[in-house]
Amino acid sequence: MRDKDERYYKAQLNMQQCSRRGLFRGLWSGVSKPMKATSTALTVRSVPRPPTAVDDDLLARLCNQCGACVTACPQHIIGLFTGLPELALDANSCTECGECQKACPTLALAGTGHSTGAKASASGMCIRQMGASCDDCVTACPHQAISLVPRGIDVNAEMCSGCAQCRVACPSSAIQMTMR
């Protein structure tokens, strides 16, 4: 019988229900996939990922590319574009519902972070800069990361999760999502 490892205890601590088949599928996918050589250099992601995804190196080892997160996402923004789960924030926003995390059999999306790796930034097209009254992005932000300043907005990068709900709500398409 196999000893219980870190993934088993992490699933128990997160109170995620995992069937016996799902547990063995997750364990076997990690064993059957050859270990990739890890570099000591810090990898910088060029695309956003689901908010609870583990670090990139661990994600590359844990993810079995089954696509369960893709089909579970109610916003249809997760794709396996490079073999790992990525968010297409130009199509829609992430509501941080956690369905992708629940669907992942390998715990690759069971991290403790709540950031997509992207952040919102305002461009010169903000209608507040032209003197109009608008606070759509402020009310849409679930983390209160956006505040109104005279003739514009200010985005607190520490509080911004990169969910893009502000970008979707902006009537003038003045908010872009950039990587941190």
Which structural domains are found in the chain, ordered by start? 7-31+46-103 (3.30.70), 118-179 (3.30.70.20)
Q: What does the pLDDT look like over 54-100, one tens digit per residue?
A: 888 888 899 999 999 999 999 999 999 889 999 999 889 999 999 99
Residues 6+ apart with CB under 8 A from 120: 137, 145, 146, 155, 160, 162, 164, 166, 167, 175, 176, 177
**pLDDT value for 134:** 92
**pLDDT value for 104:** 94
- Tokens at residue 125, please? 């097209």
pLDDT block averages, 10 residues each, the chain of length 180: 65 61 66 48 65 88 94 95 92 93 93 88 85 92 93 90 95 90
**pLDDT value for 4:** 67
* Neighbouring C-beta atoms of residue 162, cutoff 10 Å: 27
**pLDDT value for 114:** 84
Q: What does the pLDDT look like over 60-69, one tens digit per residue?
A: 899 999 999 9
Contact present, 167 and 118 (Cβ < 8 Å): no
**pLDDT value for 1:** 47
- Tokens at residue 73, please? 């996402």
Which residue reads 């997509």 in tokens?
A: 116
